Amino acid sequence: MLTLKKPDLLRQQAYLNGQWCDADSAQTIAVHNPATGELLGTVPCMGAAETRRAIEGAQTAWGAWRAMTAKERAAILRRWFELMTEHAQDLALIMTAEQGKPLAESKGEIAYGAAFLEWFAEEGKRAYGDVIPSFARDRRVVVTREPIGVCAAITPWNFPSSMITRKAGAALAAGCPLVVKPAEQTPFSALALAVLAEQAGVPAGVFSVLTGDAPAIGGEMTSSPIVRKLSFTGSTEVGRLLMRQCAPSIKKLSLELGGNAPFIVFDDADLDAAVEGAIASKYRNAGQTCVCTNRFYVQDSVYDAFSRKLVEAVGKLRVGNGLEDGVTQGPLIDEAAVAKVQEHIADAVAQGGRVLIGGEPHALGHTFFQPTVVADALPTMKFAREETFGPLAPLFRFSDDADVVRMANDTEYGLAAYFYSRDLGRVWRVAEALEYGMVGINTGLISNEAVPFGGVKQSGLGREGSHYGLDDYLVVKYLCMGGL
């Protein structure tokens, strides 16, 4: 069982309109530790009725929340940030227990997630409008930016804390209340955020966390006329479904969806730096991030050297329970995730792919999997088109720049891309030709609260973080004052 300095951070009730409560049906969902299979606890299995109450509570709370000054809202968000920072160790322990990532990565996510509260506390004070030179002598034109209203959010298991604060920070700073449904695999991180939100002074109804039946809760969020905006982070498949469900009520949408990131190593790359970036962008969270590299393209003349260096670095990764010191790769989230990785490896080998390291479930059992590198990858292999979402690095060869850019862009996704080159002209040409929302150049780590995070094509809509992220929770109002 978890030993926390602040034991009441681990809640087995949902947080609705300032109250901790069970499901109307008293039904619960069990939550297990993916590293050990042990039962961590249960959370309420809520549905449409509880969701409706949370949305109505948010509508009730909205008036007073939007009437606060941006500075007053900022003070509460800042306090929430401070409490997250103060309790980072406990929050990280909860996250590693329910999601599996190494404790160091969990601590990193808590700091990253808290930073969105800190960032948007300040950004909310800069929701500037405009005064536009009038089109008539007797009129004056003013533009204001106002909170869109009650917002709903549905978030994934792979970053169970920061994917919530990335939305909550922007929504609350803009003056909007937010109702959140976290992933069923990782509810405790979300509920711990609610404990600290309550302590920070977030008023009842401004931030609620529902756990339970995803289609029922999502169905209410997407159909309620009170909900003006939905922010979703998760798979492209579910994103499409939610987009369809929101269409009848014309909700504003933020969609942070799937990816299939290319990682291009040109012949003029610093290979040691490229390997460091490859490890960071491929094996973080055991390959379970939306911006993880899914395809490595290595130029012919450096293919063997890069492959050798990468295999050497992958061999140093240590697989184990994320609570153990020195572990750098935890388990995958569930058996389905393991099966997907095995399917992609088997498909590649059947087409001539060569496993250079790994390739099998780890001897630790459960959902641990060996960090894997496969050489001689081909465009006909499944990982060329499907997001693996696991610790598998396929190595494709390429000859010239135009060819590799074409291959890199040959996907319905467009979230993140990476490449290594030290030729300035090549850097600009390739950066401008890649059809992605985010491009890492000579780096494998691009995420931060101050940058516009998001994709193009079927990786989503909108941006999170940065000053762009606030726009998604505001609407523009044009005031025309006549008779002057």
Ligand X SMILES: O=C[C@H](O)CS(=O)(=O)O
Ligand Y SMILES: NC(=O)c1ccc[n+]([C@@H]2O[C@H](COP(=O)([O-])OP(=O)(O)OC[C@H]3O[C@@H](n4cnc5c(N)ncnc54)[C@H](O)[C@@H]3O)[C@@H](O)[C@H]2O)c1
* 214 lies in the binding site for ligand Y (CB under 6 A): yes
**Residue 277 contact, options ligand Y, ligand X, none, Cβ 5-8 Å cut-off depending on partner type:** none
Q: Which 219-248 positions form the footprint of ligand Y (CB under 6 A)?
A: 233-235, 238, 241
CB 154 within 8 A of CB 242: yes
Q: Which stretch binds ligand Y (CB under 6 A): 15-23, 154-162, 203-211, 314-322?
A: 154-162
User: What sign does the dihedral 373-363-188-77 (CA atoms) show?
Assistant: negative
Number of other CB atoms surrounding residue 480 within 10 Å: 12
Q: Which 424-463 positions form the footprint of ligand X (CB under 6 A)?
A: 447
# of chain residues touching ligand Y (CB under 6 A): 27
Q: Which stretch binds ligand Y (CB under 6 A): 60-68, 150-158, 375-383, 393-401?
A: 150-158
# of chain residues touching ligand X (CB under 6 A): 6
Q: Which of 158, 185, 189, 372 binds ligand X (CB under 6 A)?
A: 158
Helix 88-99 and helix 103-123: axis angle, to 10°?
120
> Least CB distance from residue 367 to ligand X, whole Å?
18
Residues 242-281 as x/- pattern, contact with ligand X by CB under 6 A: ----------------------------------------
> Least CB distance from residue 236 to ligand X, whole Å?
13
Smaller CB distance to ligand X: residue 163 or 210? 163
* 446 lies in the binding site for ligand Y (CB under 6 A): no
Distances in Å between the Cα of 321 and the Cα atoms of 121, 182, 291, 316, 348 are 35, 23, 23, 16, 29
227: amino acid identity, one letter:
V
Edge-to-edge strands of the sheet including 354-357? 354-357, 372-375, 392-398, 293-299, 261-265, 416-420, 438-441
Q: Which 254-313 positions form the footprint of ligand Y (CB under 6 A)?
A: 256-259, 290
Nearest residue to 58 (alpha-carbon basis) of 147, 118, 144, 126: 147
Cα 118 from chain centre: 18
Q: Which of 221, 238, 290, 356 binds ligand X (CB under 6 A)?
A: 290
Beta bridge partners of 230: 152, 253
| Spatial CB neighbours of 28, under 8 Å, sequence gap ≥ 6 | 12, 22, 42, 43, 44, 45
Q: Is 256 a catalytic residue?
A: yes
Smaller CB distance to ligand X: residue 355 or 456? 456
Query: How far apart, in whole angstroms, are the C-alpha atoms of residue 316 and residue 305?
Result: 17
Q: Which 162-201 positions form the footprint of ligand Y (CB under 6 A)?
A: 163, 181, 183-184
Q: Which stretch binds ligand X (CB under 6 A): 187-195, 285-293, 306-314, 419-427?
A: 285-293
**What tokens were used for 201?**
């002074």
Residues 101-140 as x/- pattern, contact with ligand X by CB under 6 A: ----------------------------------------
DSSP state of 216: H
Smaller CB distance to ligand Y: residue 53 or 73? 53
Q: Which of 65, 159, 188, 413 binds ligand X (CB under 6 A)?
A: 159
Nearest residue to 337 (alpha-carbon basis) of 133, 6, 44, 100: 100
**Residue 157 contact, options ligand Y, ligand X, none, Cβ 5-8 Å cut-off depending on partner type:** ligand Y
Smaller CB distance to ligand X: residue 185 or 289? 289
> Least CB distance from residue 89 to ligand Y, whole Å?
24
Q: Which of 13, 17, 281, 289 binds ligand X (CB under 6 A)?
A: 289
**What tokens were used for 362?**
């780890």
Place of tokens 């409706």: 52
Query: How far apart, in whole angstroms, are the C-alpha atoms of residue 421 and residue 419?
Result: 7
Q: Which stretch binds ligand Y (CB under 6 A): 39-47, 112-120, 158-166, 191-199?
A: 158-166
Query: How far apart, in whole angstroms, are the C-alpha atoms of residue 452 and residue 437?
Result: 9
The strand pair at 140-147 and 130-132 is best described as: antiparallel
- At 398 the three-state DSSP class reads strand
Residue closest to ligand Y, measured at CB: 218
Calculated CA dihedral for residues 265, 268, 273, 279, nearest 10 degrees: 10
**Residue 234 contact, options ligand Y, ligand X, none, Cβ 5-8 Å cut-off depending on partner type:** ligand Y
- At 46 the three-state DSSP class reads strand
User: How does DSSP assign 33-78, residue by residue?
Assistant: -TTT--EEEEEE-B-HHHHHHHHHHHHHHHHHHHHS-HHHHHHHHH
Of the residues 123, 220, 256, 464, which is catalytic?
A: 256
**Residue 447 contact, options ligand X, ligand Y, none, Cβ 5-8 Å cut-off depending on partner type:** ligand X
Contact positions vs ligand Y (CB under 6 A):
154-159, 163, 181, 183-184, 214-215, 218, 233-235, 238, 241, 256-259, 290, 387, 389, 415, 460
Active site residues: 256
Contact positions vs ligand X (CB under 6 A):
158-159, 289-291, 447
